[in-house]
Amino acid sequence: MEIAIIIVFILSYLFITLEHSMNINKAATALVTGVLCWTLYVVSSSNTHIISEQLTEHLGEIAGIIFFLMGAMTIVELIDAHDGFEVITNAITTTSKRKLIWIICFLTFFLSAVLDNLTTIIVMVSLLRKLISDRNDRILFIGMVVIAANAGGAWSPIGDVTTTMLWIGGQITTKNIIINLIIPSLVCLIVPLFVISRIFFLRRANKHCIFK
């Protein structure tokens, strides 16, 4: 039965990766995958008590994530409704996309260290919708925001759920995690930033060549 669960997971993951070509929503695929895997697990096990405890635990974790997202999105919508993002958008005056992506990513990097990285991503994506009109450029910006938020959350005890749990449990201290991870986190941010900056540079150079 374990082999059957693995096969279902692999096939479902394949469907998720081929979402655009197969026109099947990945959220629906993920839900069906979860139901099938749990059904196979329940059928193959004879200990209903353990299954009940495990299912309750996993459903509790999923519910926690959903409630967290609902709260985060409520905060974002409240800020947006009261024009809270205009404070940031008005402060950003550069028209260069290369400069803008550096500003956005470093803002995300340090904001994620103070807030949860998922909340930071939601806030910054909402901000990018107001700053970047071109869809292809916005996708590149959003990709870098995800990288910056995860890199920023790694070096702070309150920037990521995992580090927060370790910090509460006493496995890590604030001073040590900042000292040991700030440099690796910056490297994880700066290296892809150089790559994306190069892409914007080449795009701009190609446009100039076309006009000439």
Q: What is the domain partition of the chain in residue ranges?
A: 2-79, 83-211
Mean pLDDT of the 184-189 span: 92
pTM: 0.63
Per-residue pLDDT tens over the stretch 26-61: 888 888 888 898 888 888 877 778 888 888 888 877
Pair 173, 132: CB distance under 8 Å: no
More confident residue, 87 or 210: 87
Exposed, middle or buried, 43 (CB in 10 Å: 0-12/13-18/19+)?
exposed
Q: For 72-96, what is each residue's pLDDT tens digit?
A: 677 767 776 777 767 776 777 777 7
pLDDT above 90 covers a percentage of the chain that reads 8
CA distance 65 to 30: 15
C-alpha 38/C-alpha 165 separation (Å) is 27
pLDDT of residue 165: 67
pLDDT score of 211: 41
Cβ burial of 162 (10 Å; 0-12, 13-18, 19+) is exposed
Give the model's confidence band at 111: pLDDT under 50 very low, under 70 low, under 90 confident, else very high.
Answer: confident
Chain-wide mean pLDDT for the chain? 80
